């Protein structure tokens, strides 16, 4: 999923392309995607795009004072078209969740792959009405986010740093990928307890957090939407690189998996005595 | 999480206890839990409880034509009190997400354990405005849910039967636990493809689906909210019983885990050379 640097780049990209345009259509490909009921999508039609911003991992399109806010979640993405498809989007099994059109014929689609439909859009008068935005923690790239502020945050949370970095209500915008990267740069275990870090470790983590994100924002900046995903992946040192070589020391990059769900069955009763493959353990079963 | 039988029992339990009562308070412990903005919670105050129903895994409290709808998700639960706490719920880190009060001093809390906050409540004029309800598939205990209807559903989906049973837009109300149980009773592999089942397998699965759920509803019926969780667990044959003995054939109950997330790190750079424990593989690492 896109995190702070890519969401910032997407917001910048959209701002540059939609400046001066007027919304001419908002169509839903999935009823699930829109989490608000009033105002309806039609309320945006005819409104000028007054600005595009980022709030944590949310993108905020200010359309004449009414805001279209969206969060791309795990498998969501934005696809820009200078010439938007003429086809009216209809709710169904399409991977396109939402389509927006502008008065010069351009537009964008929000797409979502996979079965877990988490992409979320909101149409609100005030971005504070979006639950995930109302509870966002500070932006780690803001001037006010000093080392002292960060030290106070770490000191007040008895939780693992990996979880703290990813918790949007503690720090806005960092997800699974950049938290892996930041911890690798800081040379800290993901399971280290935030409140027990010493002053030197706090400085290392603060520096790694700011530099990693600032570098990623600079790399993503100005790239079109369709190149951002590959650029993010290419820039990763350990995230998504299980089994590859650590660029720092040459050791192998390791993985910890979190089994969020499981099923139980009886091989004799249900599968003719054959154990089913388990992504995590099947290599040991063979 | 509660599934069809427990949600039905919770709805029946609430209906019996709230009949004739009037809502005197709705308080939020978490802003995240309420997914709608208008009408506000205060709109329910003063309204009589006109009925309590179940829609898939959703519970619907009809309060004078305005509906309080909620879904307990993975770690949510309902706690009833004949004498509701006098303390006004305040948004914060409380595990209580929503508190409802009635005019005889009773009330209930919706609680949610863990960090993944998925419990969702909606206040709507029409239950069809709740996205998850609008897309619900047929109720498997309804009279109209005949074997012919089920056969047509299976035949039109090229997906694994475990996933099909759990998909709320295909069949409403069955989750991870009862789908394990149903497949064990039907002696079918969870990975069997729905569209390729033969007539005899379809009959077996239909019978297992209806009987397992009807039996669970009968067992849960009339139990108070606080006993439902244990009763559900006690009734399971294979679900949650990895390593125990299959009650049907005496083989061992097996598990397949699905790793929904993972992190990467370098042991040399980050953890002093020590690999971190992985719930799935650590038993092999020792």
Domain positions in chain B:
4-134, 147-234
Classify domain A137-286 at the CATH topology level: Helicase, Ruva Protein; domain 3 (1.10.8)
- In whole angstroms, what is the distance from residue B59 CA to residue B10 CA? 8
Tell me the backbone φ, ψ of residue A209, rounded to 5 degrees: -60, -55
Give the sign of the dihedral formed by CA A29, CA A30, CA A36, CA A38.
Answer: positive
Judged against a pLDDT cut of 70, whether residue A280 lies above it is answered with no
| Per-residue model confidence (pLDDT) at position A278 | 65
CA–CA separation, A136 and A155 (whole Å): 19
For position A260, what pLDDT does the model report? 74
All residues of chain B having their beta carbon less than 8 Å from the beta carbon of residue A184 are 265-266, 269-270
Closest CB to B269 among A241, A246, A284: A246
Give the sheet arrangement for strand A23-28, strand by strand: A23-28, A96-102, A107-112, A76-81
How far apart are alpha carbons A197 and A192 in whole angstroms?
8
- Contact list in A for residue B259 (CB cut-off 8 A) is 257-260, 279-280
Pairwise CA distance, residues B63 & B70, whole Å = 13
Residues 6+ apart with CB under 8 A from B194: B153, B154, B155, B157, B158, B159, B160, B161, B164
A93 exposure class (CB count in 10 Å sphere: 0-12, 13-18, 19+): exposed
| Contact yes or no for B165/B179 (Cβ under 8 A) | yes
Segment A39-57, tens digit of pLDDT: 999 999 999 999 999 999 9
CA distance A145 to A155: 15
d(CA A12, CA A6): 10
Predicted local distance difference test score (pLDDT) of residue B187: 93
Q: What is the reported pLDDT for A272?
A: 86
Q: Do A258 and B257 touch (CB under 8 A)?
A: no
**Are B263 and A180 within 8 A, CB to CB?**
yes
Whether the CB-CB separation of A141 and A54 falls below 8 Å is answered with no
The answer to whether A266 contacts B280, with C-beta atoms less than 8 Å apart, is no
H or E segment to which residue A230 belongs: helix A225-234
User: What integer pLDDT is reported at residue B143 of this predicted model?
Assistant: 96
Kindly report the nearest CA distance between residue A236 and chain B, in angstroms: 11
Integer-rounded Cα radius of gyration of chain A: 21
Contact (Cβ atoms closer than 8 angstroms) between residue A37 and residue A246: no
Neighbours of B260 (CB within 10 A): 12
Model pLDDT, residue B242: 87
Residue range A78-133, pLDDT digits in tens: 999 999 999 898 887 678 999 999 999 999 999 988 777 789 999 999 998 898 89
Instruction: Spell out which residues of chain A touch residue B257, defining contact as CB-CB under 8 Å.
Output: 259, 261-262, 278-281
- The helix (H) or strand (E) run that includes residue A276 is none
pLDDT digits (tens, 9 = 90+) for A136-163: 999 999 999 999 999 999 999 989 999 9
Kindly report, residue by residue over A232-275, the tens digit of the pLDDT: 989 999 998 988 999 989 898 988 888 777 788 888 888 888 88
CATH of region B4-134: 3.20.190.10
Place of tokens 């709109």: B43
How many cross-chain Cβ pairs, A to B, lie less than 8 Å apart?
Answer: 208
| pLDDT (0 to 100) of residue B283 | 41
Helix %, strand %, coil % for chain B, to 5? Answer: 35, 25, 40
Q: What was the pLDDT predicted at B284?
A: 41
pLDDT in tens, A8-33: 999 999 999 999 999 999 999 987 78
Reported for B278-282, long-range contacts at CB under 8 A and 24+ positions apart, including other chains, are B278/A255, B278/A256, B278/A257, B278/A280, B279/A257, B279/A258, B279/A259, B280/A257, B280/A259, B280/A278, B280/A280, B280/A281, B281/A257, B281/A280, B281/A281, B281/A284
* Of B266, B123, B150, residue with least CA distance to B213: B150
Q: What is the pLDDT along chain B (286 residues), one digit of tens a residue?
A: 799 999 999 999 999 999 999 999 999 998 778 988 889 999 999 999 999 999 999 999 999 999 999 999 888 999 999 999 998 988 876 789 999 999 999 999 999 887 777 899 999 999 988 988 988 999 999 999 999 999 999 999 989 999 999 999 999 999 999 999 999 999 999 999 999 999 999 999 999 999 999 999 999 998 888 889 888 989 999 998 988 999 989 898 988 887 777 788 888 888 888 888 765 544 443 3
Quote the ipTM score. 0.79
Nearest Cβ partner of B264 from A115, A241, A267? Answer: A241
| pLDDT recorded at residue A146 | 97
| Total count of residues recorded for chain A | 286
Residue to test with chain B: of A269, A274, A277, most B Cβ within 10 A? A269
How is domain B147-234 classified at the CATH fold level? Helicase, Ruva Protein; domain 3 (1.10.8)
The whole-number average pLDDT for the span A59-86 is 94
Question: In this complex, do A249 and B258 lie within 8 Å of one another by their Cβ atoms?
Answer: no
- Which of A124, A256, A269 has the CB atom closest to B276's CB atom? A256
């Amino acid at each position: 999923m896109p995190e702070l640097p890519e969401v910032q780049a997407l917001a910048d990209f959209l701002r540059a392309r939609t400046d001066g345009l007027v919304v001419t259509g908002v169509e839903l490909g999935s009823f699930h995607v829109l989490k608000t009921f009033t105002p309806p999508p039609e309320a945006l039609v005819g409104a000028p795009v007054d600005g595009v911003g980022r709030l944590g991992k949310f993108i905020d399109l200010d359309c004449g004072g009414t805001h279209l806010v969206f969060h791309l979640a795990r498998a969501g993405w934005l696809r820009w078209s200078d010439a938007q498809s003429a086809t009216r989007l209809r709710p169904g099994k399409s991977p396109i969740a939402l389509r927006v059109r502008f008065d010069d014929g351009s537009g964008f689609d929000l797409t979502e792959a996979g079965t877990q439909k988490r992409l979320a859009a909101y149409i609100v008068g005030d971005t504070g009405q979006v639950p995930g935005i109302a509870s966002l923690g500070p932006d780690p790239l803001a001037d006010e986010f000093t080392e002292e502020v960060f030290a106070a945050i770490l000191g007040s949370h008895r939780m693992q740093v990996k979880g703290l970095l990813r918790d949007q209500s503690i720090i806005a915008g960092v997800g699974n990928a950049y938290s892996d990267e930041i911890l690798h740069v800081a040379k800290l275990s993901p399971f280290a307890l935030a409140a027990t870090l010493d002053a030197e470790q706090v400085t290392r983590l603060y520096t790694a957090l700011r530099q990693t994100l600032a570098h990623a924002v600079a790399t993503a900046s100005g790239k079109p939407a369709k190149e951002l995903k590959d650029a993010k992946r290419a820039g990763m040192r350990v995230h998504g690189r299980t089994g590859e070589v650590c660029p720092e020391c040459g050791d192998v990059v390791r993985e910890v998996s979190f089994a969020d769900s499981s099923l139980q069955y009886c091989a004799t009763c249900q599968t003719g005595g054959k154990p089913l493959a388990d992504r995590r353990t099947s290599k040991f079963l063979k």
